[in-house]
Homo-oligomer: A and B are copies of this chain.
Amino acid sequence: MDHPGPTTRIPDEPPRSARPQPGGPVRRPGGRSAEVRRRVLAAVRTHLVEHGYDALSVDAVADRSGVHRTTVYRRWRDVGGLLADVLAEATSDDWRPPDTGTLAGDLVAVNREVHAALTADPPVTTALIAASFRSAPAADALRTFWIDRYDRCAVIVARGVARGETPARTDPRRLLVAATAPLYHELLLLRTPADPHLADRAARDAATAARAGAFTD
């Protein structure tokens, strides 16, 4: 599943105030509004890397980005809104689930992406999930994202059915949740130290279950 992961690049922070250029006005693609957004989101990512989620605040982001705190409150409402926007910026509309040729392979690939997102630096995904318990914008963004991603991944199960790897009546979402839920549970709720085999094991356990007829009524 597509989450912001370690390959998400942090763009350089632009200068605090753009200086007039020789020969013409300062160029601001997307207008002042877009530049404000770029600076603010860059500040969120940098602050997360350096200080973690607990230290993330609207004031901290405003100070680092040079955008006034009132503007940040006005546009993003709270820390959760900031994180939701960082996620929105980082995720790709054209993301597609992996296609490795086997159900287990696809689930392993998805779980590796989820694992990478949950252990990434900056910890955007874990921060957004934590924020979702306190912030409506964060909860909304997360729900929307997950609905979309679980929908897109249904094709993994359809391929499995087509290959005869799993019964035709397999509930796709139920299987996908079974594959991914242990990662979220272990890393976010139980807070167990990251186990490099966790993602693959959970995926393979789910594939074994599917083959055996689980996830069907």
Q: Decide if A134 is an interface residue (CB 8 Å cutoff).
A: yes
Q: Does A181 contact B (CB under 8 A)?
A: yes
Contact with B along A140-166 (1 / 0, CB 8 A): 001100100000000000000000000
Q: Is the interface of A mostly helix, strand, loop or mixed?
A: helix
B interface footprint on A181-211 (CB within 8 Å = 1, 0 otherwise): 1101110111100000000011011101101
For the complex, count residues of A whose C-beta is within 8 A of B: 36
Q: Is A174 an interface residue (CB 8 A)?
A: yes
| Partner pick for A182 among B143, B178, B213, CB 8 A cutoff | B178
Please tell me if A139 contacts chain B, counting CB pairs below 8 Å.
Answer: yes
A34 located at the interface, meaning its Cβ lies under 8 Å from any Cβ of chain B in the complex: no
- Whether the Cβ atoms of A205 and B178 lie closer than 8 Å is yes
Compute how far the CA of A188 lies from the CA of B209 in the bound complex, rounded to whole angstroms: 24
Question: Do B133 and A191 have beta carbons less than 8 Å apart?
Answer: no
Q: Is the CB of B189 within 8 A of A182?
A: no
The 6 closest A-B pairs by CB, nearest first: A209-B209, A212-B212, A181-B185, A130-B133, A181-B181, A208-B214
